[in-house]
Amino acid sequence: MSPFVSAQSLRDDIYHGHRQTVLGAFWEPREGAGLHRFESEHVPTALFCDPAYALAGVPSSEDGRNPLPEPHHLQDWFRRWGLSDGGRVVVYDEGRGLMAARTWWILSWAGLTNVQLLDGGLRAWDRLNFPIVGGPGNFATANGAEVRAGMLPVADIDDVREHLAEGGVLVDARDSRRFQGLREILDLKAGHIPGAVNIPAADLYDEDRLVRSPEEIRDRFAREGITSGGGVIVYSGSGNHSALLLAAMEHAGMGIARHYVCGWSQWSADTANPVERGF
C-alpha cells in the first residue's frame, strides 16, 4: 500500500464517517505560530501535531537540530491524540510535505502500522474546494497505542562512517545548492558528507508537491545506480527532507533504507568530520 492518500479519498472517508485519526502537522519559526496556523484553517476532524515538540528530542551540537524523540515523551503525545494500535492515521501539513513526512516516519518508527500522508497537503485539499474549518480541532476518542521505538531502521554517525568505509551508498536529500555548499543558513558548515550522492527530495514530487509516479521515482534513483533501499542510508539536514524522500521510496516499492535522522546538522557540528563541496 502506498503511504500516500489523495485529497479526494480522504474527503470521502471523512464524509462517510470512516474511522481514522487526522493529524495536521504545522510548524512556523515563531513560538506558537504553528498552532495559530492550524487553528486558522485545518481539515475537518483533524488534531494538531506540533512537530518541534512532539517529534524531536532536545537539539544540540552533539545530536543535531531534530534528534529522535524520547519514547516516553512521544507516548504522551500518543495519548493526547488518542491513537490506537492498528488504527489508521493520516498526516498532512500546509503542502510542502516536510512536516507531514516527518510525522509519518516518526509514527511508523514508533510502531504504528497504518500511517499515510495526505498527498499535496492542505494545498491539494484546498484546490479541490473541500471544506476547511477553524478552531482547536477534534477531540481524541481512543487510546491504547504503545510506542515501540525502533520499528524502522536508523543509522547513527558511527554507522555512517562504517557504511562509507565499506563502500555503501549514502543519499543526501537536500537541494543541490546546499549539497554543493553554495548555500547554508541552518547548519554550521556548508557542504555534504564525503561520498554522498545527491537526490533532492523535491525531484520526487511535481510542481504541485504531489508525489510522482513509482516509475519516475525509480528512474531518478536509477540515475545514481540505486535500485532499492537495501544497503542505502539516507540523510538530510535534520531528518525532514530525508523523511520526504523515504516516503517516495516506499511509494515506488523500493523497500526500506536506513535513516540517519541527525543528518548534516550533527555531522557538520563536529570539527573532526570531513566536509566535501561541489558534486
**CATH number where 178 lies:** 3.40.250.10
Dihedral of CA 112/93/48/245: which sign?
positive
pLDDT at 138: 83
Radius of gyration (C-alpha) of the chain in whole angstroms: 18
Q: Is residue 174 part of a domain?
A: yes
Q: Is residue 144 part of a domain?
A: no
Domain match, 102 and 211 both: no
pLDDT at 139: 78
Domain match, 163 and 101 both: no
Domain match, 165 and 210 both: yes
Domain match, 201 and 120 both: no
Last residue of a domain, one of 127, 147, 172: 127
pLDDT tens figures, 56-113: 999 998 999 999 999 999 999 999 999 998 899 999 999 999 999 999 999 999 999 9
Domain match, 35 and 88 both: yes
pLDDT at 127 over 90: yes
Q: Is residue 57 part of a domain?
A: yes
pLDDT at 185: 87
**Distance between CA atoms of 71 and 81, rounded to whole angstroms?**
15
Query: Where residue 32 falls among pLDDT bands split at 50, 70, 90?
Result: confident
The mean pLDDT of 129-140, rounded to a whole number, is 90
**Distance between CA atoms of 146 and 89, rounded to whole angstroms?**
14
Last residue of a domain, one of 107, 127, 147: 127
Q: Is residue 276 part of a domain?
A: no
Phi, then psi, of 201 in degrees rounded to 5: -55, -35
Domain match, 162 and 248 both: yes
Domain match, 256 and 178 both: yes
pLDDT at 140: 80
pLDDT at 30: 77
pLDDT at 144: 81
Domain match, 167 and 122 both: no
Domain range for residue 117? Answer: 4-127
The mean pLDDT of 36-50, rounded to a whole number, is 95
Measured between alpha carbons, how far is residue 75 from residues 19, 110, 197 in Å?
21, 9, 35
Give the percent of the chain with pLDDT over 90: 90
User: Could you tell me which residue, 185 or 210, shows the higher pLDDT?
Assistant: 210
Residue type, 275: V
Q: Is residue 94 part of a domain?
A: yes
Q: Is residue 151 part of a domain?
A: no
pLDDT at 143 over 80: no
Query: Where residue 250 falls among pLDDT bands split at 50, 70, 90?
Result: very high
pLDDT at 187: 86
Query: Where residue 146 falls among pLDDT bands split at 50, 70, 90?
Result: very high
Q: Is residue 219 part of a domain?
A: yes
Give the percent of the chain with pLDDT over 70: 100
CB 94 within 8 A of CB 27: no
pTM: 0.96
Domain match, 102 and 20 both: yes
Domain match, 259 and 190 both: yes
Domain match, 93 and 28 both: yes
CA geometry: angle 51, 57, 60, nearest 5 deg: 115
pLDDT at 1: 80
pLDDT at 142 over 80: no
Residue position matching grid coordinates 554550521: 188
**Distance between CA atoms of 201 and 244, rounded to whole angstroms?**
6
Pairing type for strands 21-25 and 46-49 reads: parallel
Last residue of a domain, one of 82, 106, 127: 127
Q: Is residue 244 part of a domain?
A: yes
pLDDT at 136: 86
* Average pLDDT of every residue of the chain: 95
Domain match, 113 and 220 both: no
pLDDT at 80: 93
Edge-to-edge order in the sheet of strand 89-92: 4-5, 115-118, 89-92, 21-25, 46-49
- Split into its structural domains, the chain has a count of 2
pLDDT tens figures, 152-179: 999 999 999 999 999 999 999 999 999 9
